[in-house]
Amino acid sequence: MAMERLTRRIVILGLLVVVLAACNGNSGEPTATYNGSGCTYDGPGEFDINSEVTFTFVDETESEDVGFALWAVPAGTTTEQIHDDGIFSVESGGGETVEWSSETQVSDFEWQFTVTFSESGQHALNCYDTASGGEGTDYPNLITVNG
């Protein structure tokens, strides 16, 4: 009897943890988070042409040397290629910077920007760290715009 109550409490506690974790996630916007050694992306991998999307960027390192950008890149571009060669070598091969309509600084190390996708194809949501000097180090996440 005591074991059943303990098991029931553990199951209820586990379910509560799952529900609280889901409630504490981002507000549904695609989010890129830089942690000093990479950039994770939480959001859809595909969007429709002419869709308006708000992206959130979070810098967990609290460094002033970190930035974020969204680039159109040639089809077939890989994250490894961007990380190894740099976004500028890839974008100079045919990609263009995607302009966003508004940017808001949410806090010291969190920003949001809204973009309306006007170009279909592959895009790189890129976190970059310029602390290493030069053009910096790129940490891309690839998304696709359909249309």
Q: What is the rounded radius of gyration, in angstroms, for the C-alpha atoms of the chain? A: 19
Please indicate, yes or no, if residue 19 is contained in any of the structural domains.
no
Burial of 66 (0-12, 13-18, 19+ CB in 10 A): buried
pLDDT digits (tens, 9 = 90+) for 14-47: 333 333 333 334 457 899 999 999 999 999 999 9
Q: How many structural domains comprise the chain?
A: 1
Q: Which two tokens stand for residue 140?
A: 């891309």
Quote the pLDDT of residue 69. 87
**What is the rounded distance in angstroms from the CA atom of residue 128 to the CA atom of residue 117?**
22
Please indicate, yes or no, if residue 110 is contained in any of the structural domains.
yes
Please indicate, yes or no, if residue 10 is contained in any of the structural domains.
no
If you count them, how many residues does the chain have?
A: 147
- Judged by average pLDDT, the poorest of 43-52, 96-105, 126-135 is 96-105
Quote the pLDDT of residue 18. 30
Please indicate, yes or no, if residue 21 is contained in any of the structural domains.
no
Burial of 25 (0-12, 13-18, 19+ CB in 10 A): exposed
Please indicate, yes or no, if residue 20 is contained in any of the structural domains.
no
Please indicate, yes or no, if residue 22 is contained in any of the structural domains.
no
Which has more confidence, 120 or 8? 120
Q: Sorting pLDDT into bands at 50, 70 and 90, what band is 1?
A: low
Across the beta sheet with 66-72, the strand order is 46-48, 137-146, 121-129, 66-72
| Residues facing residue 55 across a β-bridge | 113
Please indicate, yes or no, if residue 13 is contained in any of the structural domains.
no
> Model pTM?
0.73
Quote the pLDDT of residue 124. 92
The domain that holds 75 is classified in CATH as 2.60.40.10
Say how many C-beta atoms besides its own lie within 10 A of residue 40's C-beta: 14
| Portion of the chain with pLDDT greater than 70, in percent | 71
Which has more confidence, 24 or 82? 82
Domain carrying residue 51: 27-146
